Structure 1
């Protein structure tokens, strides 16, 4: 029996609507340090740094004793299948497939950001990665990090200037601070709060950027801000999180995003042998991603109200 199918997954081109939509919606895709992956897992060496000391004239150099280790990226599949009646494809004036692909891109962007930044549970069922939030709530003696050291929780009365100052100070106090690489990723619900907070000189700490081709980003304490609908706490990864809003301050070099494949899609025509009785086609879309926070002291989090 003849099968009218695409025989391989088709990757989205860089200029496609799907890729552009993902880049617009996902702070993680846009800002993280990308790690190309040619296999399911990838080990990245993590340097413990190198010390330096004074060497007297004619004296012996002391040897560095820093212990290096590595971090491991494991690719997970994020995808969805959509069943579409042939009549909808044939009769609609709109491009149903393109519309569904853009819709998937929006949901994928929110789920990816949520999984990487705000999920509260350890990796497992429904939790593909150790998120920034989860990592910062766990002790790591080998890295000298105490659980929740870099987590600030706002009081029920709301986010204050001191809360914001504290979360930035947490990210600034370690060896992983680099002003040129620091970014803020936050849920849009923080915008209204930030607009009302001023410093002692009555100057706003939040400055809205200029839009357009030559626009500038919003800034908080002079750091660029990227807004993400995935930045709400959830127990498992979801494209519709509903917990407390999250604000993340991080050195983007330590937000490591593994890219194994995708976004990509495959269209299974409804006229093949398997689906001939239903007159329905199937559009499957997926991306394989991995994520890890390179060091817990490279990021800090504020939990809003």
Structure 2
């Protein structure tokens, strides 16, 4: 007697937890000097260097005239909507809303990092929200390494930063594209000790004893993107991964609102709309407070 196949009538079982990519933390969100913004534009005061004179007994003091100016942070909005059938919300065990929120947060982290640090284009307020650190920094702040990340090149870019006027051990941080991590693991100092130590149990990873954080957004692109791609090429080519060492106090992140989400309803079509957004401004106080290492083509 033939058995009736009823497999099509047996529902598949799904876990209620949506599988998502790891919710990556933005290096800019984590490390930058945060400025609360009560309006769409904020001007952060900046003072130039003050010189000190020796004064002989009975001599007249000399006025010091530092340059006083501002760094302007302008709010840019990052956001998306997701239209979801109400049946999908009601009939599934999966936490659909949290899944979308987590995925958006991951992409937002990468796009913000790319826009603030690694975008090569000229700021236009839209596809290029900010003037990035890479765009603003002069050639004297950049070091190129052809294909291979070496001890000598890492030491050189640290030297660029440490040779400037704004190096400060307490505020020094390293930000790097994820691909640098594998390169770091194979580099030893002259005493055969690793220069890179991966963090454990919540402690940060370190490079030359300096805290280091990684981001997929730190790869060059012409416009801001959460998926920077391209083949490694000459200096400035989209796809080149970069490392930044510098004084975190000179990365200015204006916080106007979010990340935040809001649910709405499309009454005529039985659909729910999830809106997710963040409003941020960004600027560099001093480009000479940073050194940039860029991986280019070569062997």
* Map of 1:191 onto structure 2: 181
The alignment status of 1:240 with 2:227, answered yes or no, reads: yes
Q: Equivalent residues in 2 for 1:78-97 (5 A)?
A: 78-97=78-97
* Map of 1:202 onto structure 2: 192
Q: Distance in 1 between matches of 2:161 and 2:263?
A: 45
Distance apart, 1:256 and its partner CA: 0.3
Distance apart, 1:208 and its partner CA: 1.8
Query: Unmatched 5+ residue regions in structure 1?
Result: 1-20, 137-146
Which residue, 275, 278, 298 being the options, matches 1:287? Answer: 278
Q: Distance in 2 between matches of 1:103 and 1:216?
A: 25
Distance apart, 1:264 and its partner CA: 1.5
Greater relative contact order (CA < 8 Å, ≥ 6 in sequence): 1
Distance apart, 1:200 and its partner CA: 2.2
Distance apart, 1:57 and its partner CA: 1.5
Distance apart, 1:227 and its partner CA: 1.0
What is the number of residues matched between the two proteins? 265
Distance apart, 1:160 and its partner CA: 1.4
Which residue, 190, 197, 203 being the options, matches 1:216? Answer: 203
Q: Give the secondary structure class of the aligned counterpart of 1:133.
A: helix
Q: Distance in 2 between matches of 1:262 and 1:180?
A: 28
* Map of 1:151 onto structure 2: 142
Q: Equivalent residues in 2 for 1:223-262 (5 A)?
A: 223-242=210-229, 243-262=239-258
Q: Distance in 2 between matches of 1:30 and 1:155?
A: 30
Q: Distance in 1 between matches of 2:257 and 2:187?
A: 42
Q: Distance in 1 between matches of 2:101 and 2:194?
A: 40
Q: Distance in 2 between matches of 1:199 and 1:34?
A: 35
RMSD (Å), alpha carbons: 1.4
Larger Rg: 2
Query: Unmatched 5+ residue regions in structure 2?
Result: 1-21, 230-238
TM-score normalised by length of structure 1: 0.84
Q: Equivalent residues in 2 for 1:37-48 (5 A)?
A: 37-48=37-48
* Map of 1:140 onto structure 2: none
The alignment status of 1:171 with 2:158, answered yes or no, reads: no
Distance apart, 1:126 and its partner CA: 0.4
Q: Distance in 1 between matches of 2:108 and 2:292?
A: 23
